[in-house]
Amino acid sequence: MSANDRPTGPPTATRDSAFLKACRREPVPHTPVWFMRQAGRSLPEYRKAREGTGMLESCMRPDLVTEITLQPVRRHRVDAAIYFSDIVVPLKAIGVDLDIKPGVGPVVERPIRSRADLDRLRPLEPADVAYVAEAVGMLTGELGGTPLIGFAGAPFTLASYLVEGGPSKNHEHTKALMYGDPQLWADLLDRLAEITAAFLRVQIEAGASAVQLFDSWAGALRPRDYRESVLPASAKVFDAVAEYGVPRIHFGVGTGELLGLMATAGADVVGADWRVPLDEAARRIGPGHAVQGNLDPAVLFAPREAVEEQAAQVLEAARDVHGHIFNLGHGVLPDTDPDALTRLVAYVHEATGR
């Protein structure tokens, strides 16, 4: 698509939505709510739609992607949809031999640990993910005024899966590469930044009205390592999509010590997990950013009154934050009662409605 064909931005109803207003730090009619991993295993209709279809195969079917993305919007009345996919989809699309194993996560057949391995990571062309553009187009038609959030994995989190060969608690091979061969590491992250940027561009050009960069595992790093070895690649991604003017969200787990640095990477909105109170998170993030978060997802297993008490504490901590987007501190846990999520959305809307 040439610059002239680019959509001129979302329709007015979407642009004026509480979610996009909060991202821009404008006054809102109520605090907007969405949940990371809102589309997924907590919903019986999701399990039914996915029956007999593998995770990666589902991500390549625009009809399934559209249905699954819409499910939580219909059920919970959340203020934004998140595109149903996975952070490893662009890697699969360029031919990395990976699969998503149920209950495990992404598994890579041949991990990337040498210069020769790196050569296997070719650039992502829009044609590699034509089904993504198709599904985003279908979705924006169906969603009306509800914004669609596109997303991608950040270079460090993608690198962790590629270097470890699967999910990892300690990221030992990843860190061995980062400390042991800084040049190869920098080249790997730079290549991943280009792939990620290309993947986000496809989603934005097809109509996504915000994007989130998931650096889920960045919290495993010291600030100095994050700043020197990771931040430049994430900043490159944010920079590459700045021209579109859609809000960019940045999130990771256990990133209390990194929030200030993450804010400098270029996002408009920074997400925090539940370990840092939201007012303290906002202080660390610094002025000029909206803040997203941060109810502990495990709280949803408590009785309704306790959930509302904990949600009220998040809202109280967010009182002086200009631009608060209510979310969980990480994704919805698979065994969460969907009704607890629906009630939480209604609670936040009522408690903050003006």
- Distance separating alpha carbons of residues 336 and 247, to the nearest angstrom: 29
Q: Toward ligand CP3, which CB reaches closer, 281 or 308?
A: 281
Q: Toward ligand CP3, which CB reaches closer, 62 or 106?
A: 106
Total residues contacting ligand CP3 (rule CB under 6 A)? 24
Which of 24, 37, 61, 275 is labelled catalytic?
37
2 in a known ligand binding site: no
Stretch 49-88: interaction string toward ligand CP3, x if CB under 6 A = -x----x--------------------------x-x-xx-
Q: Cβ 170 to ligand CP3, closest distance in Å?
A: 16
Asked if 274 touches ligand CP3 (CB under 6 A), the answer is no
74 among known catalytic residues: no
How many of the other CB atoms lie within 10 Å of CB of 226?
Answer: 23
Q: Could you identify the residue written with the tokens 């995770």?
A: 55
Stretch 209-238: interaction string toward ligand CP3, x if CB under 6 A = -----x-x----------------------
25 among known catalytic residues: no
CA-based torsion, 165, 169, 175, 176: positive or negative: negative
Asked if 38 touches ligand CP3 (CB under 6 A), the answer is yes
Asked if 106 touches ligand CP3 (CB under 6 A), the answer is yes
Q: Toward ligand CP3, which CB reaches closer, 22 or 89?
A: 89
Q: Which of 40, 150, 266, 323 binds ligand CP3 (CB under 6 A)?
A: 40
- Distance separating alpha carbons of residues 145 and 297, to the nearest angstrom: 27
161 in a known ligand binding site: yes
Q: Cβ 252 to ligand CP3, closest distance in Å?
A: 8
Q: Cβ 334 to ligand CP3, closest distance in Å?
A: 7
Tokens read off for 304: 């309704």
Asked if 151 touches ligand CP3 (CB under 6 A), the answer is yes
Which of 83, 161, 244, 347 is labelled catalytic?
161
Asked if 39 touches ligand CP3 (CB under 6 A), the answer is yes
Closest CA to 269 of 137, 151, 159, 135: 151
Measure the N-to-C terminal CA separation of the chain; round to a whole number of Å: 41
Stretch 312-351: interaction string toward ligand CP3, x if CB under 6 A = -------------------x--------------------
Q: Which of 105, 165, 254, 260 binds ligand CP3 (CB under 6 A)?
A: 105
Q: Cβ 55 to ligand CP3, closest distance in Å?
A: 4
Amino acid at residue number 47 = R
Q: Cβ 320 to ligand CP3, closest distance in Å?
A: 28
39 in a known ligand binding site: yes
- Distance separating alpha carbons of residues 149 and 82, to the nearest angstrom: 5
Q: Toward ligand CP3, which CB reaches closer, 154 or 308?
A: 154
Which of 15, 61, 75, 86 is labelled catalytic?
86
Asked if 207 touches ligand CP3 (CB under 6 A), the answer is no
* Catalytic positions, written as ranges: 37, 41, 50, 86, 161
Question: Using CB under 6 A as the criterion, which residues of the chain lie in contact with ligand CP3 when the complex forms?
Answer: 36-41, 50, 55, 82, 84, 86-87, 100, 102-106, 151, 157, 167, 214, 216, 331
> Which residues carry a binding-site annotation for substrate?
37-41, 86, 161, 216, 330
